[in-house]
Structure 1
Amino acid sequence: MNIRTLLIGVFGASAAVLAYGQSSVTLYGLLDVGGATFDRTATSTSRLNKLNSDTGSSSRWGVRGTEDLGSGVSVFFNLESPIDMKNGVAGGGASSGACNAAAGCATATAPSFWRRNAVVGLKGAFGQVALGRYGTAAIAKQGGVISATPSGINTGFGLAVLSQGIGNDFWNSNQIRYDSPKLGGFDFALSVAAGEGLSGRNLGGNVRYMQGPIAVSLSVQKDEDLAGKSVTWTMLSGSYDFGTFKLHAGADKMDNSNGVVGFVHSSLWTLGGSFKATPALTLAAQYWAVKEKVGPSSTSKLVVLNAFYALSKRTSLYALAGFVDNKDLGLSPLWGNGNFGGSGNVIVTNAKNNGLALGIRHLF
């Protein structure tokens, strides 16, 4: 073997190693803030005017990255933190199923900087396995199917399921989650958390069909608190894209007959649609009804109207209006940080109220 052949072999092997070791790290985020007005709050009948963050989508920033391990396998990570655009605060509890602030769970009430995501895992032709704090399988595959509002899932889907306690399952800690590859028009996902004696155990999954104009998503989640009591919820949603018009519908059932703190024995149904008025302008409307089944049953209702105008691929203007007719179970007319506690609480039970927000959303 001559020197030239040896050098070519060495450089070729080195190039292969470097190719397998290629990695990328990306800083990204979403910022959502606007002015809002509400006709009343839980503590005052006078109008409340405020700067409202997260009306449509939750503001956040994060770091994600991948490394190619070769043979079609890569490692990935994601760290993601919330931002309150009114003041720059990144606080917030880290609810994990039945281990939530309402239950007095210390794990849930402690501030958590990376409370949206703190996960690392492997992905390839087999799908994706993630370990850490991550969105649950049951929720992750629902928002884009059940929600019609282009500004985001917070006002509408977020408000309705928050009133049922499902907001405790948007992310869970101590979790292992598997997401399958696409199998024809189907995919599925499963997430499980043992609890480790610090938070409640939970198990959930989703099966989804997405092919052409049709999307159908079915989720089931079971949470167990530290005393061993369990709560189970099931959600089915679907959408059909007619082209310029897209129809969305869904329903769920929250079975909390065991009285797990932080969840409400209830059911929900919704119907909505979006219309592409121009390439830049989308108009949407959606109706939500949440029926509480504890004591004399009653139904609280929410109507959401949304106009969304894309200035570019990254920047959009929006208007969101919410109208609620609440019974014993209260819904807020608009999502927003600081809207669910203290003097700014805009959830008024057994009354009607409304809210309007004009805002901007920017992706980077």
Structure 2
Amino acid sequence: MKTRNLAALTTALVASAAHAQSSVTLYGLIDTGIGYISNARTKPAVPSIGGSSWSQITGIINTSRWGVHGNEPLGNGLSAVFRLESGFDSTNGAFKNGGDLFGRQAWVGLTSETYGGVTFGRQYDFMVDFVAPLSATGSGFAANLAQHPYDNDNLNNNMRLNNAAKFSSVAFNGLQAGGMYAFSNEAGGFGNNRAYSFGLRYAGGPVTVSGAFLQVNRSATPSEANATGAVSTNDGDALTTGGRLQIYGAGVQYAIGKSTAGFVWSHSSTEDVTGILQGGSTTTGALHGHGIKFDNFEVNGRYFVLPMFSLGASYVYTMASFEPLTGATSRPHWNQVMAQADYRLSPRTEVFLEGTYQRVSGGNGNPVFDAGIFNLSPSTGNNQAVVSVGIQHRF
């Protein structure tokens, strides 16, 4: 009897210890401020009507979010992991990502301390994971207001991949690799709105170099649309609509302490394009043609004047080529400058002043090619300025 009780007690203690090693963490970020926007459209249906705007803005640097992530050690360096993450508008409490509860991320998988991790669900591609950290936008220091036009290269991670199986290795002598495949989940349409991505990153000493590729295979024919495939087209997250989307790019960053300097180049193209991300949603029919291509060139730098105070800036030159169904090819190009001052009140709370100016030329009068910064109201013409002051708190 005593032996059975001792065995039961030992089993309970082992189970309790294993449970204690597991973790589920609630986390989040709230980013809100006051912003000035020049030449903002007041009637989206009439792009020429607008004016200056003062308003409260959410997600100036980073989109407000909350989530939970978990880790359960399984032994021998293997763990079960998951993440559920929801975006929201901190000015009114509304859901982002078309109202999806966990529209930012929703995945589960296994990770190995020796080899890396395999995860399944709604996830980011390797342009986001490997190239974006070297940019000012996305996971870079300035994020949203430093977004490249229309986020055409997804470095600001507006687009996620559904139904994705993803592998990311651990770093071997500074080299890390990854690959992923996102299923169309369509019966009889295995290749209709499927995607794949891969990337490489090397970090050695003060230098980090990365490159990545992403392709989404889909049909531009409306009757063949697969809205819930690898890239959702019913939640406003798609960068473009139409045929095949291809994105690739590379970047390099040099660090001195916490201060950094970087350069990023990226290319994107959409065949048989029918719409593009503008003003916070993917507008269809506004840009209808045989195809559109972008090349983005960015230089950026961030300098820590004090351990808690930094100054940052970026310059982006973007050139595009749009071939309409009829008429001459348009070759718009953008010049965009961003500057930021950031002061950390604590490890979790910071206040900031950030501004962006963008100017466009060569749009041939197409309002889609008017200036537009992040998901704010596009300009009524070829230039726009945004200046914001805000606070960001992490929990």
**TM-score range, shorter-chain basis?**
0.7 to 0.9
* 2:110 is the counterpart of 1:122: yes
Percent identity over the alignment?
22
Cα gap change, 1:359 to 1:151, in 2 (>3 Å): farther
Contact 1:150 1:282 in 2 (8 A): no
* Structure 2 counterpart of 1:76, from 75, 78, 81: 81
Quote the offset at 1:178 in angstroms. 0.9
In 1: Cα distance, 2:10 partner to 2:109 partner = 29
Contact 1:300 1:330 in 2 (8 A): no
1:104 aligned partner: none
One-letter code aligned to 2:65? R
- SS of structure 2 residue aligned to 1:141: helix
In 1: Cα distance, 2:258 partner to 2:85 partner = 34
Contact 1:274 1:284 in 2 (8 A): yes
In 1: Cα distance, 2:349 partner to 2:152 partner = 30
Quote the offset at 1:19 in angstroms. 3.6
Contact 1:180 1:188 in 2 (8 A): yes
Q: How does 1:76-115 map to 2 (within 5 A)?
A: 76-93=81-98, 111-115=99-103
Cα gap change, 1:348 to 1:182, in 2 (>3 Å): farther
In 2: Cα distance, 1:168 partner to 1:26 partner = 23
* Structure 2 counterpart of 1:346, from 334, 358, 378: 378
Unaligned ranges ≥5, structure 1: 94-110, 340-344
2:145 aligned partner: 155
* 2:250 is the counterpart of 1:236: yes
Contact 2:144 2:156 in 1 (8 A): no
* 2:134 is the counterpart of 1:145: yes
Deviations 1:5-54 (A, max 9, x none): x8766655554444444421111000101000112113444310100111
* Structure 1 counterpart of 2:331, from 281, 297, 320: 297
Quote the offset at 1:116 in angstroms. 0.4
One-letter code aligned to 1:113? L
* Structure 2 counterpart of 1:49, from 54, 62, 68: 54
1:307 aligned partner: 341
* Structure 2 counterpart of 1:189, from 178, 201, 226: 178
- SS of structure 1 residue aligned to 2:97: coil
Quote the offset at 1:253 in angstroms. 1.2
In 2: Cα distance, 1:68 partner to 1:143 partner = 30
Unaligned ranges ≥5, structure 2: 43-48, 225-242, 277-291, 323-328, 364-368
Contact 1:161 1:167 in 2 (8 A): no
Contact 1:117 1:134 in 2 (8 A): yes
Contact 1:290 1:300 in 2 (8 A): yes
Task: Compare 80-89 and 243-252 and name the one that shifted more.
Answer: 243-252
In 2: Cα distance, 1:297 partner to 1:217 partner = 29
- SS of structure 2 residue aligned to 1:62: strand
* 2:246 is the counterpart of 1:249: no
Cα gap change, 1:244 to 1:152, in 2 (>3 Å): closer
1:359 aligned partner: 390
Cα gap change, 1:166 to 1:81, in 2 (>3 Å): same
* 2:301 is the counterpart of 1:273: yes
1:324 aligned partner: 358
Contact 1:33 1:360 in 2 (8 A): yes
Contact 2:253 2:263 in 1 (8 A): yes
Deviations 1:124-157 (A, max 9, x none): 122111111112233122222122796541111x
- SS of structure 1 residue aligned to 2:40: coil
- SS of structure 2 residue aligned to 1:85: coil
One-letter code aligned to 1:217? S
Contact 1:57 1:151 in 2 (8 A): no
One-letter code aligned to 2:345? L
- Would you say how many aligned residue pairs link Structure 1 and Structure 2? 334
Quote the offset at 1:169 in angstroms. 6.5
In 2: Cα distance, 1:165 partner to 1:277 partner = 31
* 2:287 is the counterpart of 1:287: no
**TM-score scaled by length of structure 2:** 0.77
Deviations 1:63-87 (A, max 9, x none): 1111122222111111110010110
- SS of structure 2 residue aligned to 1:40: strand
Higher relative contact order (CA 8 A, sep 6+): 1
In 2: Cα distance, 1:207 partner to 1:150 partner = 18
1:105 aligned partner: none
* Structure 2 counterpart of 1:259, from 268, 272, 276: 272
Cα gap change, 1:23 to 1:17, in 2 (>3 Å): same
Deviations 1:174-196 (A, max 9, x none): 11111101111111121211111
* 2:104 is the counterpart of 1:64: no
One-letter code aligned to 1:189? G
